Structure 1
């Protein structure tokens, strides 16, 4: 209740407006206050304020840095003005204490109750040309912070790697996907390593390239078997029809029979 009351007062009386609607979509300026906690130590608590204008990330206050950083032309112009304002610094420090530091224990306790271990999968996806794409996915985990790393023969791989943003499942859990491009026929041992607060040790999923080769070989053999079965079935049906008097001979058979020479014996 104390936190809610302070946030309400902050929304009403803080110098920048928290949500000022001005356009037809009801969106003009939006400010997001949040805490980044790596431990229960108050010194490790990071307080951030994200300021958006017209859907653009204009600037950010970071308590670790100690000032505002602009990201748009307007932000680059306005941030220095805030950074020389002593009252602005005092306000942000007070917000950090009341919103984040005073509630570290409550936040960590809530996080521990709702912790969920990630489910990790490693699959192969078809890529462009001769490139094979490996997809490492982590599903249904909480808290949000997670690290996904690719390893080749035990060494971290950075080239050919792309990753999605950590996406919310809208049920307090998250998911993330990482992609690695590999050349076909490679014999290196490729692994995906996932590190998360719920895991005592990293989860490692390894990919066996011979598994893909065996799958393609089995698929080719199956295709040949299906083709042989279909051909055999067609030949059997053809033989049955040709031997059944109810079915007249085909045009090819009629032409063949009519063109055969006829011998007359006197």
Structure 2
């Protein structure tokens, strides 16, 4: 948990007011004036810098919720540089730069102020942790949505880049692995930065550069606090729509070609057969009752034939 406040103006102020006004000034960015016993000096005006920035950050860190160590850290910045801080593990203000030395000495000499700072571990950190647990901010989990995206239109092309995206998960920290035919891949793997979305969820991408072959099975395996078992999404290289269209076009063309060849061959053979019949000598038979018919097709008759019949027989 972090809280910050700042102030910006045309020229840097030289001093801060004292007492309670000193604390409210540093916490709320309100500047006071006049010399007091609790005067805290800031850097002298810099003519080349028309603006200044004063910032305070309050941070709470937890180990295993409130059951472990809870730390409170209060930090002060001027011109983007930290100059003094309070760490609850030490219990007093420490100067980070030379600018912070007189300020740390001044604040450490104020008993009420030190009691207030040392109590922040309970009054700010532990208290607000309980509030966030009630409001489901602590312990909230959202399952990631996982998808695989190839970067080329034809996945069978040389060196395809596969991108596994896990999006919309909470809390942060997620583990993504690439598997090829059940084996974890370590070569050609690239990792992107974890990005926080506007709704406090996160997204993360892991890329795999590979040369997929037909029959390979790729899997993106995701492990996250929101799921008990790893989420696995598979991807297999397939022929693209354009390639499929070309294959179908070729197949149809081949079938039509075979049909035309078969029809042409049939007509050719039929015409050759007709020409062969027309060129073959035809058998001419004599008229019924002729000697030739009787000689070749009639059975022999008895010897008592007539003279005409004998002549036919000869």
Structure 1 length normalisation: TM-score? 0.51
Q: 1:175 to 1:95 in 2, by over 3 A?
A: same
Q: Which residue of structure 2 lines up, in the alignment, with residue 150 of structure 1?
A: 177
**Unmatched 5+ stretches in structure 2:** 4-19, 32-44, 153-157, 253-314
**TM-fit CA distance, 1:136:** 1.8
**How far, CA to CA, are the matches of 1:131 and 1:60 in structure 2?**
52
Counterpart residue number, 1:33: 58
Cα pair 1:20 1:27 within 8 Å, conserved: no
Residue 119 to residue 61, structure 1, CA distance change in 2 (3 Å): farther
Say yes or no: does 1:191 pair with 2:220: yes
CA distance in 1, matches of 2:187, 2:100: 36
After superposition, the CA RMSD in angstroms is 5.1
User: Matched residues in 2 for 1:157 and 1:80: separation?
Assistant: 49
CA deviations over 1:40-92 (Å, ceiling 9, x no partner):
434333434465555x5758969597699xxxxxx96469959x869398765
2:172·2:202 contact (CA, 8 Å) conserved in 1?
Answer: no
Q: Distance in 1 between matches of 2:194 and 2:174?
A: 12
Structure 2 match to 1:177: 204
Does residue 104 of structure 1 match 2:114? no
Cα contact 2:224–2:230 (8 A) shared by 1: yes
Per-residue CA shift, 1:168-194, capped at 9, x if unaligned?
324xx3122222232222757542323
Q: What's the counterpart of residue 248 of structure 1?
A: none
Alignment equivalent of 1:162, drawn from 191, 200, 225: 191
Change (3 A) 1:202 1:16: farther
Counterpart check, 1:95 vs 2:105:
no
* Structure having the larger proportion of residues in strand: 1
| C-alpha distance in structure 2 between counterparts of 1:100 and 1:106, whole Å | 10
- Structure 1 residues 163 and 156: alpha-carbon distance in aligned structure 2, compared to 1, 3 A threshold: same
CA separation of 1:220/1:151 partners in 2, compared to 1, >3 Å: closer, same or farther? closer
Verify the 8 A CA contact 1:122 1:137 in the aligned structure 2.
yes
5+ unaligned residues in a row in structure 1: which ranges?
5-9, 69-74, 230-266
Q: 1:124 to 1:18 in 2, by over 3 A?
A: farther
The answer to whether the Cα contact below 8 Å between 1:131 and 1:184 also exists between their aligned partners in 2 is yes
Secondary structure of residue in 2 paired with 1:43: coil
* Aligned partner of 1:221 among 215, 240, 244: 244
Partner of 2:233: 206
Q: TM-score, normalised on structure 2?
A: 0.45
Decide which structure has greater helix share: 1
Structure 1 residues 112, 31: CA separation in 2 closer, same or farther (over 3 Å shift)? closer
Q: Does 1:132 align with 2:157?
A: no
Aligned residues: 201
Deviation at 1:120, TM superposition (A): 1.6
For 1:169, what is the secondary structure of its paired residue? Answer: coil
